Amino acid sequence: MPLSHENEPRYSTIQQWQANRKSQPMFASLIDTIMTKSTFRAFRHRNFAIVEAAGWLAGAGVWFYRIGLGVFAWQLEKSGFWLGVIVVAEATPGIILSPIAGALADRHDRLVMARIVQAGLMAVTALLAIMTYAGLVDIWVLTGIAILHGVCAGFWTPVRMSLSPNLVPREDLSAAIATHSIFFNLARTLGPAIVLPIITVWGVAAVFALNAIFNFIFSAALFFVKIVNPDNRASSGRSMKTHLAEGLRFASNHPVIKYLFLNMIFASLLLRAYLELLPGLSEAVFGFDPEEGVPILTSAAGLGAVIAALIIGNLRKPVAILNAYLISVFGSLVMLTIFISTSNFWFAAICAVLLSTAQVGVNISGQMTVQGNVRGDLRGRVMSLWGLLNRSGPAVGALLIGGLSGFWGFRWPILVGAAVTAVVALFVFARRDAMRMAVLEQEKDTAS
């Protein structure tokens, strides 16, 4: 079974309000609808609500860090190649460590791991802030710090992705994934808007310092969370190599998951790299100062992501979610082509909203489908592979496209990448009927 069926206490965040609801008839129906039928119904569960509320600050901090890192690297070197190097330095540890972290998450307490990793992220960003204030950072030091941060992030992704199903019952899993995406992308929308005045007035060091503070708050909040719907743990006594091979074998043989992974390889590598190259795209393609352009484009992408989460989070039928995935894949191909073909910054910002709506639609619906079909004792390993592609693919793509930009600019490498991904998408689309049948079979097995 993909999820354990232990009875979960419904830790409602509105229990006290419900006790007095007769005295508040004006709002009773509205709040009931929000908390039981909408995308936000996962907030009925206390532990999930704590993780998401505190995690929102940490999510904003992630965008503080990423934008600060990119802008700082561009200020130091003015090079698309170095932008790619910094992104790869951040992502490479995750490529190596994420599968190991996923195996550990299947064997050990995921909540304890989450607390440790968040403390590590806090320490690294605090170190970066201090060194930046002291004027001790050049491009090589920045690369080293990015590697350290990448080590922590490599552990965080599989832990976070495998933790959500342990905080809510199965019927609210799709809502939990969509709600997390909404909060993450609200942070992505608002974070860059806040970053611009902070960088302008206080510099990138202040951005890194705030990131460290937000990680501290999240770390503290995790001590008030409990696992209420645990998965079965992976069997002990076997080697790490055996555990990793088991997760890879499951993902590569599953009739649905294997095609989602195939498409993710190319989509993350060639379609989503533009996000990592926004400082260069803003200046070289759209003719806009990256200190102003990057926050605007990132916020536009965040707005599109929220739209996607609100739409897909209300889907409950597995086949409907799979259909949304297929539609979103082709939407992202069309919108990326339009986005990179224009030279008008403000038109590109509008395109970024629609592009992000499609791309985040791919990510959310794909993750919902994987989470709904994976075994609980393999969740950490399979989701670590998903997270690895999701994070490292754009980084490697940014290095590739950033390197090629020195010869052909940014536009043509991105367009060629979109064409290659379109071929793979058509291959996956041709197998849609078999994928739908497998999803329906899984739904029947789960219901029984």
Q: What is the pLDDT along the chain (448 residues), one digit of tens a residue?
A: 444 444 444 444 445 545 555 545 555 554 555 555 556 777 778 888 888 888 888 878 887 888 888 888 888 877 778 887 887 888 788 778 878 888 887 887 788 888 999 999 999 999 999 999 888 888 899 999 999 998 998 888 788 877 777 887 777 776 777 777 677 766 766 766 777 788 888 888 898 999 999 999 999 999 998 887 777 776 666 677 787 788 888 888 888 899 999 998 898 888 888 887 888 888 888 888 887 888 888 888 878 887 887 788 777 788 888 999 999 999 999 999 999 999 999 999 999 999 999 998 898 888 888 887 887 777 778 887 887 787 778 878 888 888 888 888 888 999 999 999 999 999 999 999 999 998 888 777 766 6
How far is it, in rounded angstroms, from Cα 176 to Cα 45? 10
Residue 288 tokens read as 């806009």
Q: Which of 92, 415, 70 is nearest to 276 (CA)?
A: 70
Tell me the Ramachandran region of residue 344: left when phi exceeds 0, alpha when psi lies from -120 to 50, beta otherwise. beta
Q: Specify whether the CB–CB gap between 61 and 211 falls below 8 A.
A: yes
Outline where 313-378 has alpha helix (H): 318-341, 345-373
Q: Specify whether the CB–CB gap between 198 and 206 falls below 8 A.
A: yes
Amino acid 293: pLDDT: 86
CB atoms within 10 A of CB 217: 16
Amino acid 4: pLDDT: 41
Give me the domains of the chain, ranges plus CATH numbers. Answer: 41-221+240-447 (1.20.1250.20)
Amino acid 10: pLDDT: 46
CA 58 to centroid of chain Cα atoms: 13
Q: Specify whether the CB–CB gap between 315 and 302 falls below 8 A.
A: no
CA angle 185-146-207, nearest 5°?
Answer: 55
Packed helices 240-253 and 379-408: angle between N→C axes, nearest 10 degrees: 70
Whose tokens are 């209300």? That residue is 314
Amino acid 1: pLDDT: 42
pTM of this prediction? 0.69
Amino acid 15: pLDDT: 52
